[in-house]
Structure 1
Amino acid sequence: MARSTRSHATRRAPMGVAANAAPRAERGRTDSPETPLAVRTKDVEVDEALREYVAKRAGFKLGKFAEAIERITVRFEDLNGPKKGSPADRCAIKVVISRHESVLVEVVDADPRAAFDKCIDSVERAVRRALEKTKSKARRR
């Protein structure tokens, strides 16, 4: 498989595009100005307002790293199922970074939006650390 020789200096647009908007082979690494964001659910009602909030907030928090990010997956899951009592919703965010290991953060909270807010803050810090590690290794060489 031939690799593209294009520069990675192209600026990407804000995140929030549906995942698999175009096949990866067509998009390539920097051909598309969009970073795919997928929101997946399991036993949790995620309305359109929450999906828009997730896309907007992810773009705000992770947009500065857009050149390095290949895709983002946000998963919501109801841990208690149909039981009544204390609701427990899990939010897991996975960020696939070019030429790095993926970043995965999970948070459990009573509300999906609250779980997402805590999770996206942690993901931002984790992505920053992952990218800074590479910079410091390059400086040592």
Structure 2
Amino acid sequence: MQILIQARGFDLSPGLREHIERRLRFALDRTHYHVRRVSVGLSDLNGPRGGEDKCCRVQVAMAGAADVVVQDIESDLYVAIDRAVDRAGRTLARRVAQQRDHRHASPRDTRGAQAATAAVAADATLTVAMP
């Protein structure tokens, strides 16, 4: 998994970079086989004026699917990072589960379900027919 981190408007400290990488590896651990690249963009929207203006944008590029893009704005940059990475991890897990469920639904599965439904209907008919 390739991780790209960019900071706009301030310097990216080694501690901040380590925090981002650790959070990403934890949040994307279950789905890391599906991730090609993760881009994290950090920015201070208002500059030195303060306020809720620290932005973290996480973009996860998946193999064979649309990118997952999550953005969060908070007054504390670490909180913005944590929230955005957590949301990206949950969204990615949902997408992978949907892909897995979609792949497992094949015509054979449909025929098996139809046969099971017919067998249940036949049992119900026999049960009703008996006094």
Runs of 4+ in 1 over 2 A off after TM superposition: none
Cα offsets for 1:69-119 (capped at 9, x unmatched): 10101110111134x242411100000011111100000001211100011
Partner residue, 1:131: 96
Partner residue, 1:59: 25
Distance 2:7 2:21 in 1: 15
**Structure with bigger gyration radius:** 2
Distance 1:44 1:58 in 2: 21
Identity %: 23
1:44 equivalent to 2:1? Answer: no
State the number of aligned residues: 106
Distance 2:90 2:50 in 1: 33
**TM-score where L is the length of structure 1:** 0.71
**TM-score where L is the length of structure 2:** 0.76
Larger helix share, 1 or 2: 2
Specify which of 87, 105, 123 is matched with residue 70 of structure 2. Answer: 105
Distance 2:52 2:9 in 1: 12
Distance 1:101 1:119 in 2: 18
Q: CA RMSD in A?
A: 1.3
